[in-house]
Structure 1
């Protein structure tokens, strides 16, 4: 049986329905090639002297890992010269990176978390790259941060690459979710799953239970009901899974269902949440919705939120549709 490559899939998307412009196809292929380079560095680990922390901090004040910096540089270098981008933004950079004048400027904007789950790098647990693609909607010359401040529902494409036992690329261009596995011998991305669907119901939740004492009442209520099991109001037993790598946790949910929660908590009450809206929540929400799931910040659909700044944070509840709706309803009941 012949397998479909990433290139073939993108060409077929370009031919059917017309929602795959040539620049977008090129952009996705370049990002996919960059992820292959990052995968090589991740797989070498200590052999490549890429483990451990660097001596720098990112814009969020977090100590950067060596691989954070390497992955960020790989994505910038791979994408800035091809003529498909106007600018890029990264979780690891203070401001946007405008395509240099010596290269042609395209009509798309690329946002990425170059290496999600950095705390897992040194212990050989799955980590990944998350990316989001927007169209530059203004007609003015030049690019500014304002061009990036679009709601997630305007994404042209989104995806992630998870570096685990297999290297897997998960992608949506607004026409469902597909998965590609890296064939290391051939060096090519091969489709291994099409029409990915998240079950509407689940018996699994993913959350950092160590923060329970800081959660808002609606989150406590939901988790307490799950923990009560078959003798509680949900009348079924739940399992908890928590990898502390959003890519790994969301990949599990896309594969077999579940609900992922990174809610607001009282430790930093003035911050809406921990995760970044534009680099993490938006692309993951787009993927989850395209797979039939739901994604909210507790009260609002994530993809409807218009960001006010480049590194905006947000609470996240995403995954199996019926569970997300339940958590959201608990928040709305308290607000009402």
Structure 2
């Protein structure tokens, strides 16, 4: 009995001494003059502030990505010196930017993709769906690679016609939180003659247009459309309305351009489908048409818009 009491007494002493030591250590570590780490105040984060990602010296401040329209690019074109179509509308934007800025300020990259549109008149061309998917995959590959190499570089995206659809789709995913780069890495987006354009989605810097993109207008009869343009899915509106990029995404459309300003009333589906193939007239005049944006042509506006971003304005 006496031995048992002795053992219990020793245990009690150890517990008391141990508890006292623990309290002493806690006081020491919480004291500003103690040798240990300071205990954070209530509500204070214990996590270290995130470090700014390292930016290699060669990285530009901005990358301007240009997506040409149908028949204005090719899969093997040089993204830094495109030669597929010397009359490509997007060259009237990228060439002035190259002349104005050094490579340390902006890297201009032009999307090299097949850019075709199979129809009953051109059966040997790549289908619109395949061409668009190829372009999107290449554009996202460039964004992902560049962001990985140069995490502080900001992106400016611009596209025309089929290229506008590709740029708009990529921007919609990024703004919706499912893109290949974070939305905060995108400084601005401009889609010109976008076949999925909607009024009230993005910002229209030009004259009012009352219609909608052809892919939205023709979605209810997409099966009939494919009789004229096989492999051209009419996908309707985008799901995210550009999400967090809506405040820096611009939609430019010439009034009566059947690609981006199609009537809400489908009318004759075959005729509407033929307009997709022909896409001439107003659709081909954005470099000279001064009835799209007050006081200037579309390419002049885009060059000014991009320049203002690059100059920090």
Query: Taking structure 2 as the reference length, what is the TM-score of the superposition?
Result: 0.28
Where is the strand percentage greater, Structure 1 or Structure 2?
Answer: 1
For the pair shown, the structure with the greater C-alpha radius of gyration is: 2
Query: Taking structure 1 as the reference length, what is the TM-score of the superposition?
Result: 0.26
